Homo-oligomer: A and B are copies of this chain.
Amino acid sequence: MINKNYANLKESYLFTEIGRRVKAYTQANPDKKVIKMGIGDVTKPLCKAVTDAMNNAVIEMSTKEGFHGYGPEQGYDFLRNAVADYYKNFGVSLKSDEIFISDGAKSDLGNILDLFDKDCNVLVQDPVYPVYVDTNIMDGRKIYYADAVEKNGYLPMPSETCDADIIYICSPNNPCGAAYTRDMLEEWVSYANSRGAVILFDSAYEAFIEDAQVPHSIYEISGAETCAIEFCSLSKTAGFTGTRCGYTIVPEALVRDGFELRKLWLRRQTTKFNGVSYVVQRGAEAVFSAEGQKQIKEQIRYYKNNAAIIASTFDVLGISYTGGVNSPYIWLDCKCDSWEFFDKLLNEIQVVGTPGAGFGKNGEHHFRLTSFSTLENTTEAMERFKKLKL
């Protein structure tokens, strides 16, 4: 009666275990200031354009005339059109009915699998955002791993040896912080089209891209509209981790086994979802306004400055790493067991990061730091790194 695939899930204890060790340390050393650069959560509050819009929406909801009941499951046109306009910045033209407003990329990355057969083969990268793996284990799909390692710059390319139907690409990457260039994504798109595979493209970190060679959207690559679904979120772009809004793009031209996936997803969402809160959608709309864009870009500059401080420190210290340029993450080569390194940082300099082992076998000997802390704490953490005996 029960979906037995759940028995195949590994207990995911990564952040629980980090919390346990940090708690034990702080209890034993109440006088020490611990700096947290582990979990990928933001620290800056919502920007004024967003909170003003949300406050106005709440006031609307309190009046007979302004009240909004059930909205369209796929999101209000005012927000879908704002997203379509945003994509024009990348030279990508989308119809509003190819855009689905979500309560975050995580939900849709999991729920999209409803559309696919259980016998599809899945390709993920190792190290990997664990959600890609666990959602497929829940469905009993076979999973292949592409190595993201130093010798390929943490950016694996297509291989003829693996027969994948569903391909996950997260660029800029979590946890590695590496980002695919236009040329590399062209290879992935032609590979997917040639085999009839579908790319699930996670662009949650696109707002951190500064390199002109790195696409913000997979649809900047011609041919992607016949093989890719894109998932994005305002969590890191605009600090929506606790506000919950994102969007999923399913192009009309994406057809498999005679089914238009956009129509299947619309049917899935109208049946199993009731849309995102009106108040939240008004806040999200404000992110794309001129004022909103100005304010969120200021926040992103702040985080990217933290990343630059970490990167330049590691350059001086000769610590090899990826990320920090087009990404809020720095993925460093700690040259030892990643949990040992975690304990070393906690005990010797009271800095908390994320052991790479939590992201897969290739995460071993690696460590993730985020730039989402405050400038003060980031600077202090780097001063402490300089004192660290490596």
Shortest distance between the CB of A307 and any CB in chain B (Å) = 18
A293 within 8 Å of B by Cβ? no
Is the Cβ of B71 less than 8 Å from the Cβ of A242? yes
CB A73 to nearest CB in B, in angstroms, measures 9
Residue pair B272, A111 in contact (C-beta under 8 Å) = yes
Q: How far is the CA of A153 from the CA of B323 in the complex (A)?
A: 66
Question: In the bound complex, do residue A277 and residue B280 qualify as a contact, i.e. CB atoms below 8 Å apart?
Answer: yes
Check A1/B131 contact, CB under 8 A, given A103-B103, A243-B279: no
Q: Determine if B45 and A64 form an interchain contact, defined as CB atoms under 8 angstroms apart.
A: yes
Question: A184 near B: Cβ within 8 Å?
Answer: no
Give the number of copies in the complex.
2
Please encode chain A, from 32 to 76, with 1 for each CB lying within 8 Å of some chain B CB and 0 for all others: 000000010111111010010011001101111011111100000
Interface bits A85-110 vs B (CB < 8 Å: 1, else 0): 00000000000000000011011001
Query: Is the Cβ of B242 less than 8 Å from the Cβ of A277?
Result: yes
CA distance A258 to B239 in the complex (A): 41
Find out whether the CB atom of B62 lies under 8 angstroms from the CB atom of A242. no
Task: Give complex CA distance A66, B43 in Å.
Answer: 11
Query: Which residues A1-24 have CB closer than 8 A to chain B?
Result: 1-4, 6-7, 9, 12
Indicate with 1 or 0, residue by residue over A229-242, a CB within 8 angstroms of chain B CB atoms: 00000000001011
- Whether the pair B244, A274 counts as a contact (CB closer than 8 A) is yes
Q: Bin chain A's interface residue count.
A: 35 or more
Q: Is the CB of A67 within 8 A of B55?
A: no
For window 158-196 of A, CB contacts with B under 8 Å fall at 165, 196
- A261-274 to B contact mask, C-beta < 8 Å, 1/0: 10010011011111
Interface pair A2/B243, CB less than 8 Å apart: no
Q: A106-B273, A120-B1, A280-B279 are in contact. Are A69 and B51 (CB under 8 A)?
A: no
Shortest CB-to-CB span from A224 to chain B, Å, is 18
Within the complex, the shortest CB–CB distance from A122 to chain B, in Å, comes to 11
Chain B's nearest CB lies how many Å from the CB of A359? 15
Is A138 close to B, CB under 8 A? Answer: yes
Within 8 A of B (CB), among A271-293: 271-280
**Are A273 and B107 in contact, CB atoms less than 8 angstroms apart?**
yes
Flag whether A135 is at the interface (Cβ < 8 A).
yes
Contact B69 A106 (CB under 8 A): no
| A233 CB to nearest B CB, Å | 9
By the criterion CB–CB under 8 Å, are B107 and A138 in contact? Answer: no
Take A9-B267, A54-B58, A196-B1 as given contacts and tell me if A272 and B110 are in contact as well, using a CB distance cutoff of 8 Å.
yes
Chain B residues whose CB sits within 8 angstroms of the CB of A55 once the complex forms: 55, 58-59
Cα A40 to Cα B148 in complex, Å, equals: 51
Q: Is A256 in contact with chain B by the CB < 8 A criterion?
A: yes
Distance A54 CA – B61 CA, assembled complex (angstroms): 10
User: Are B2's CB and A256's CB within 8 A?
Assistant: yes
A39-B70, A135-B271 known; 17 other A-B pairs, CB under 8 Å?
A3-B116, A6-B115, A7-B259, A43-B67, A44-B64, A45-B67, A51-B58, A55-B55, A69-B241, A103-B274, A107-B274, A111-B272, A242-B278, A243-B278, A243-B279, A244-B275, A244-B276
A and B contact pairs by CB, cutoff 8 A, 8 listed: A1-B165, A2-B261, A12-B270, A41-B70, A45-B66, A131-B272, A241-B274, A242-B278
